[in-house]
Structures are given as structure tokens and as C-alpha cells.
Amino acid sequence: MSAKKPGAQIKQDKQDKQERHEPKFEDALAELESVVKRLEEGDIPLEESLAAFERGVSLVRLLHGRLDTVQTRIEELTRGERGDLALEPLEDDGD
């Protein structure tokens, strides 16, 4: 049984994200801020509030996952097998 390297997992996560057409981090954060603002204003019907809340929770989970991925990447870069720094280029998310 072979264990996946952290870099391989990050690349797989990127491929999975692209297949799901998830928004970029900054776009998701901006959308979350918009959702929060709408909910804080309180001028939307209950059903719409619930849908907005559900979307907000989904965005929080997405953003948290992205931050975890970045943290893993940083940890991978700062500790090599022989103590050296091995940098792999990040793929551009640009559409």
C-alpha cells in the first residue's frame, strides 16, 4: 500500500475543484460577505434567509478547505525530506 505525498494530494484537490467549477477564493469570500450583509439587514423573507444561510455555510466550508490546502502547501514547502526547499509551481485558476 503506497501513501500519497502531500503534493500529490494538493494536485488532486485542484483537479477536483476544477471539475466542480468552484469559485476562486476571492470570489467566494466576496460572495460570503454579500450573503452576510443581506442576512444582517434582515429585509428578506424567512425562506430566502434560510437559503442564504445555507449558501453561507457552504461558502465557509469551501473557504476553510482552501485555507487548509494552503496551510498544507506551506508546510510542505518549509520542510523537505533533506531539509531543502523544493518549490513546485501552482496552477493558475484563471478562466
pLDDT digit string, tens, across residues 58-75:
999 999 999 999 988 888
Work out the burial of residue 1: count CB atoms within 10 Å of its CB; fewer than 13 is exposed, 13-18 middle, 19 or more buried: exposed
Which of residues 2 and 51 earns the better pLDDT score? 51
From residue 39, how far is each of 34, 46, 52, 64, 92 by CA, in Å? Answer: 9, 10, 7, 21, 33
What is the radius of gyration, based on Cα positions, of the chain? 18
pLDDT of 5 > 60? The answer is no
Give me 34's grid cell. 454579500
Mean pLDDT (the chain) is 81
What is the pLDDT confidence band of residue 51, given thresholds at 50, 70 and 90? Answer: very high
Give me 89's grid cell. 509551481
pTM metric for this prediction: 0.62
Of the CA atoms within 13 Å of residue 38, those in its CB half-sphere come to 17
pLDDT of 9 > 70? The answer is no
35 CB neighbour count, 10 Å cutoff? 20
Which of residues 20 and 2 earns the better pLDDT score? 20
